[in-house]
């Protein structure tokens, strides 16, 4: 009896010592504690009255990583996401000239949809598009030269890669699509532009500018796979009219050179606007090339929705 009482007293004194030395804060760590499988199966405790020692519970708290250690990971993830978005989805472009006034002002930044062309969408009449120089369109233009400072040049290269500034190597232009492959355009001095025999009402052109007086090219039929484009500031735009007069590829822009459709003015905030298709391009008589107009809905986002919907339905069917 004395021994069992002594054992119980000893167990109590050990527990009291643990509490007196700081409680749970001074409990041994997992690496310092050896557990008994038999005691674990019994709930990890013993009755002191039966001669067993009290077992203290050990709580393991996972130490959280300091925030400053996570910053590099967040930066890398953000850069990767920016490159993916710029390459496959949306890219910002800087407007350097007056050729699209008043729709776009110098210094504006527009967002361009690069996803829809992946699904076979082609530009449609009235849309504002960004396209690569078909060849010689930018000849004589004041294109900023890359910095001679290697540090600045590399920094600009990084920013252009993630889409935060235009690349010095990009040779892109922005114009409005007036006609698509198969259309017939009439551009004569003193008359409005007509497409497939339908006159266009163009309130978006720069105030005081004339539709075709500067570069009257007469009647032009656009080849399949090409586009006829014009700037909204007709008196200050070296567009398809000017290029045709210069005998530069007939003034046509190959569809394969199109980067994407500009759909919104994103900066500055005071210029924010959606670049929608003017109502004059919705006239029924313009649809001379009905087959060409088929994929136009894709540029409005259905090119992404339809494949995802079909994929989701197929996945559900396979699970059954």
Catalytic residue among 86, 114, 175, 237: 175
pLDDT tens readout for residues 188-244: 999 999 999 999 999 999 999 999 999 999 999 999 999 999 999 999 999 999 999
CB burial of 271-296 (b: ≥16 within 10 Å; e: otherwise) equals eeeebebbebbeeeebebbeebeebb
- Widest distance between CA atoms in the chain: 122
Contact, 229 vs 253, CB < 8 A? yes
Catalytic residue among 99, 116, 194, 240: 99
HEC readout, 158-191: HHHHCCCCCCCCCCEEEEEEEEECCCEEEECCCC
pLDDT tens readout for residues 140-150: 665 555 556 77
Band of pLDDT at residue 40, cut at 50, 70 and 90: very low
For the domain spanning 68-305, the CATH number is 2.10.109.10
Tell me the mean pLDDT in the region 158-185. Answer: 77
- Those residues with Cβ within 8 angstroms of residue 192's Cβ, 6 or more apart along the chain or in another chain: 199, 200, 201, 202, 211
Band of pLDDT at residue 162, cut at 50, 70 and 90: low
Residue 110 clears pLDDT 60, i.e. is over it: yes
Band of pLDDT at residue 8, cut at 50, 70 and 90: very low
Model pLDDT, residue 293: 39
Would residue 114 show up in a list of annotated catalytic residues for this protein? no
The residues spanned by each domain of the chain are 2-50, 68-305
Neighbour-count burial of 187, counting CB atoms closer than 10 A to its CB (0-12 exposed, 13-18 middle, 19+ buried): buried
For a pLDDT cut of 70, what percent of the chain falls above it? 57
Would residue 240 show up in a list of annotated catalytic residues for this protein? no
pTM recorded for the entire structure:
0.63
How far apart, in whole angstroms, are the C-alpha atoms of residue 260 and residue 129?
6
Residue 305 or residue 192, greater confidence: 192
How far apart, in whole angstroms, are the C-alpha atoms of residue 56 and residue 62?
19
Structure tokens at 102: 């008043």
Structure tokens at 81: 């996401």
């Amino acid at each position: 009896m004395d021994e069992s009482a002594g054992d119980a007293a000893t167990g109590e004194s050990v527990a009291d010592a643990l509490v007196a030395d700081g409680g749970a804060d001074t409990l041994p760590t997992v690496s310092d504690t050896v557990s008994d499988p038999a005691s674990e199966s019994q709930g990890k405790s013993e009755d002191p009255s039966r001669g067993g020692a009290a077992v203290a519970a050990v709580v393991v708290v996972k130490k959280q990583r300091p925030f400053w250690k996570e910053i590099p990971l967040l930066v890398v993830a953000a850069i990767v996401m920016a490159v993916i978005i710029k390459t496959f989805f949306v890219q910002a472009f800087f407007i350097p000239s007056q050729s699209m006034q008043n729709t776009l002002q110098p210094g504006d930044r527009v967002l361009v949809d690069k996803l829809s062309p992946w699904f076979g969408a082609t530009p449609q009449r009235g849309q504002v598009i960004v396209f690569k120089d078909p060849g010689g369109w930018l000849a004589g233009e004041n294109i900023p030269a890359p910095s001679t400072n290697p540090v600045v040049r590399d920094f600009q290269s990084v920013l252009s890669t993630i889409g935060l500034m235009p690349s010095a190597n990009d040779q892109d232009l922005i114009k409005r699509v007036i006609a698509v492959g198969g259309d017939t355009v009439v551009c004569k001095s003193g008359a409005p532009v007509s497409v497939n025999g339908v006159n266009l009402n163009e309130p978006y052109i720069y105030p005081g500018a004339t539709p075709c007086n500067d570069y009257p090219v007469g009647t032009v039929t656009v080849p399949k796979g090409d586009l006829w484009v014009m700037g909204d500031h007709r008196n200050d735009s070296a567009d398809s009219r000017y290029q045709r007069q210069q005998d530069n590829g007939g003034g046509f822009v190959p569809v394969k050179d199109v980067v994407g459709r500009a759909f919104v003015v994103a900066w500055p905030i005071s210029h924010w606007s959606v670049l929608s298709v003017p109502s004059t391009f919705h006239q029924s008589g313009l649809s001379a090339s009905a087959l060409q107009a088929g994929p136009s809905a894709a540029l409005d986002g259905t090119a992404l929705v339809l494949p995802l919907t079909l994929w989701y339905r197929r996945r559900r069917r396979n699970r059954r």
